[in-house]
């Protein structure tokens, strides 16, 4: 029988009020991994109440010395590093990605706690000049109770990307992982207890968006929502938060351009472009799914990209020879296959479509092989909508002005990649492209020390680095009359 998991509320593992559970499955086989508590509104209320008590009652926040907060975060980082192999395996089983990729995720998650533990003792304010007869102090204080809702493509990494800065700022947290991939969030909860976090500081509620996520967003005891996921859900969350004017950070979708100029080093640009769309099964919000190639090298780049797609080995992420795992669910596989069908139907030229693994043990898995289309039109659905799978659309261009117009012809603005040996051209294109992250001669690095977030409908606010810490702080001015 599969393991059964509870909710983490107020430092204790508890059953859901309604007694309901749901299954989480191995996407490589379709087999059940575990039975997980299905939280509802009553459970969310218990978790928010615990977080509120911890924040208002002095167990965390302004009443706790910054060094003490830092020590707890460093302790949590140490535990993540201790359990890196176990957590990586759990992540691969739950979301499908190759084990080596999952291991990197866990190690970076540990670094995030180390990074923000350092920031906990360095939150400072300002003393603006207001004249000789008064003193104005601008201090930074934690926002309060934060609802953190994370996606299924980087389950542990995205959870830590929100939890670490929130705790460093002095906030208390209710974490809601995606229902498809809850296991490493629950493991993080167990480690938080071992690290000595006071009860109520980190609560973990598992369940669906409507049953658990929406009550968290609308709860009057929550001061801020930080969400990573689809644009449609982000828009819904923003509407719900408007009633209470909750603080909101939204990291949403993308349709990122990957621009290859003729003077690029193709030995770097081609595999980098492939990584940008095939890495993590294409389940990446910043995936370089729109590939623009200067016409004089178009055939070379297209051929190289097809070769990279052919070299992909599909299978279980636990197999060390596998370079691409399954998509996260049957629903996601159907969605991506629907887009591939639309591409064919609307006239995109199919340059390459791989095949699913034929091993009997993987027959129930949610595999979609790498697929490469080429087109001259940006009006096709596959060139406009986020697919969130290993599907590339390759488009030729003739000059810088044309390609930056095409790159910006989207409602999204999360990321972009530019490949060229000409540094002047690189900076001109980087300035012209409307995106929150622009890579030059690289694809997909997201250092925890730097800003992450998008323009336009790719979201609101920034995460990572000091920018991610600011998202969990409020500014307060204290004005003192001296005369």
278-293 pLDDT, tens digit per residue, is 999 999 999 999 999 9
Q: Using 50, 70 and 90 to split pLDDT, how confident is the model at 3?
A: confident
Rounded Cα–Cα distance for residues 32 and 283 (Å): 22
As a whole number, mean pLDDT of residues 375-403 equals 97
Rounded Cα–Cα distance for residues 188 and 109 (Å): 10
As a whole number, mean pLDDT of residues 339-356 equals 97
116 pLDDT above the threshold of 50? yes
273 pLDDT above the threshold of 70? yes
CA distances (Å), origin 341, targets 156, 335, 350, 367, 443: 32, 10, 11, 16, 27
Q: What is the model's pLDDT at position 36?
A: 98
φ and ψ at 322, to 5 degrees? Answer: -80, 135
As a whole number, mean pLDDT of residues 425-444 equals 97
Q: What is the model's pLDDT at position 1?
A: 46
Q: What is the model's pLDDT at position 483?
A: 85
CA distances (Å), origin 423, targets 264, 294, 340, 406: 11, 17, 36, 21
Task: Please give the positions annotated as active site.
Answer: 251, 285
Q: What is the model's pLDDT at position 67?
A: 97
Q: What is the model's pLDDT at position 287?
A: 98
Coil/strand/helix, residue 15 = coil
Rounded Cα–Cα distance for residues 228 and 161 (Å): 10
84 pLDDT above the threshold of 80? yes
Q: Any residues with CB less than 8 A from the CB of 122 and at least 6 apart, and which? A: none
| Sign of the C-alpha dihedral computed for residues 174, 180, 181 and 187 taken in this order | positive
Share the mean pLDDT of the chain. Answer: 97
As a whole number, mean pLDDT of residues 231-238 equals 97
Rounded Cα–Cα distance for residues 175 and 213 (Å): 10
| Sign of the C-alpha dihedral computed for residues 386, 387, 390 and 391 taken in this order | negative
Q: Using 50, 70 and 90 to split pLDDT, how confident is the model at 309?
A: very high
Q: What is the model's pLDDT at position 30?
A: 96
Q: CB of 366 within 8 A of CB of 332?
A: yes
Nearest to 90 by CA among 1, 6, 189, 183: 183
């Amino acid at each position: 029988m599969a393991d059964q998991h509870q909710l983490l509320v107020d430092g204790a593992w508890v059953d859901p009020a309604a007694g309901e559970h749901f299954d989480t499955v191995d996407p490589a086989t379709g087999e059940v991994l575990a039975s997980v508590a299905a939280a509802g509104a009553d459970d969310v209320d218990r978790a928010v109440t615990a977080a509120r008590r911890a924040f208002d009652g002095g167990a965390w926040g302004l009443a706790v010395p910054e060094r003490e907060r830092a020590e707890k975060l460093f302790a949590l980082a140490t535990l993540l590093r201790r359990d890196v192999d176990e957590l990586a395996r759990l992540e691969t089983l739950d979301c499908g990605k190759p084990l080596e990729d999952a291991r990197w995720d866990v190690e970076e998650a540990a670094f995030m706690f180390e990074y923000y533990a350092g920031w906990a003792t360095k939150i400072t304010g300002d003393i603006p000049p207001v004249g000789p007869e008064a003193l104005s102090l601008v201090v930074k204080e934690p926002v309060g109770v934060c609802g953190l809702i994370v996606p299924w493509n980087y389950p542990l990494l995205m959870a830590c990307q929100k939890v670490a800065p929130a705790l460093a700022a002095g906030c208390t947290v209710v974490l809601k992982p995606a229902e498809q991939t809850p296991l490493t969030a629950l493991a993080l909860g167990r480690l938080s207890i071992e690290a000595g976090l006071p009860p109520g500081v980190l609560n973990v509620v598992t369940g669906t968006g409507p049953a658990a996520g929406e009550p968290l967003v609308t709860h009057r005891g929550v001061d801020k929502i930080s969400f990573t996921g689809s644009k449609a859900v982000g828009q819904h969350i923003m509407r719900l938060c408007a009633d209470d004017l909750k603080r909101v950070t939204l990291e949403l979708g993308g349709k990122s351009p990957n621009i290859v100029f003729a003077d690029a080093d193709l030995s770097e640009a081609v595999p980098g472009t492939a990584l940008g769309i095939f890495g993590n099964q294409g389940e990446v919000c910043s995936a370089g799914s729109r590939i623009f190639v200067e016409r004089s090298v178009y055939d070379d780049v297209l051929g190289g990209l097809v070769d990279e797609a052919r070299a992909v080995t599909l299978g279980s992420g636990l197999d060390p020879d596998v370079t691409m795992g399954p998509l996260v669910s049957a629903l996601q596989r159907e969605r991506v296959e629907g887009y591939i069908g639309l591409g064919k139907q609307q006239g995109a030229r199919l340059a390459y479509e791989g095949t699913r693994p034929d091993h009997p043990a993987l027959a129930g898995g949610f595999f979609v092989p790498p697929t490469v289309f080429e087109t001259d039109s940006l009006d096709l659905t596959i060139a406009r909508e986020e697919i969130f799978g290993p599907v590339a659309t390759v488009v030729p261009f003739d000059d810088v002005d044309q390609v930056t117009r095409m790159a910006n012809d989207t409602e999204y603005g999360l990321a972009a990649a530019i490949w060229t040996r000409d540094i002047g051209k690189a900076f001109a294109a980087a300035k012209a492209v409307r995106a929150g992250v622009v890579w030059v001669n690289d694809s997909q690095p997201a250092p925890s020390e730097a800003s992450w977030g998008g323009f336009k409908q790719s979201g609101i606010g920034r995460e990572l680095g000091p920018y991610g810490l600011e998202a969990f702080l409020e500014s307060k001015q204290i004005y003192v009359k001296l005369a």
